[in-house]
Amino acid sequence: MKHKAKRMDEIRLLLQTYQRCGFYKSTTRRLQISKNTVKGYIRSAQTVYGSVEQALLASDKELYDALY
């Protein structure tokens, strides 16, 4: 991913919001961030962990290493 790195608390909030909403568009509206940013983090988390739920179970270090 080529973008300005987000803090882990921001990434976790993004993943949690997407998990609750289930849609990119709802997540982008609630967090006021780009749809492409949301898509990128969600796709990366799903590729590495298989699901957003599994990604949220990972420690901050594991999640950081997986996403960056």
Query: Quick check: is 2 in a domain?
Result: no
Structure tokens at 27: 């997540």
Enter the pTM of the model: 0.87
Has residue 2 got a pLDDT over 90? no
User: Mean pLDDT over residues 1-9, rounded?
Assistant: 75
Query: Quick check: is 56 in a domain?
Result: yes
Domain total in the chain: 1
pLDDT tens column, 22-53: 999 999 999 999 999 999 999 999 999 999 99
- Structural domain including 49 reads 8-67
Using the 8-state DSSP alphabet, how is residue 30 labeled? H
Residue 24 in contact with residue 42, Cβ under 8 Å?
yes
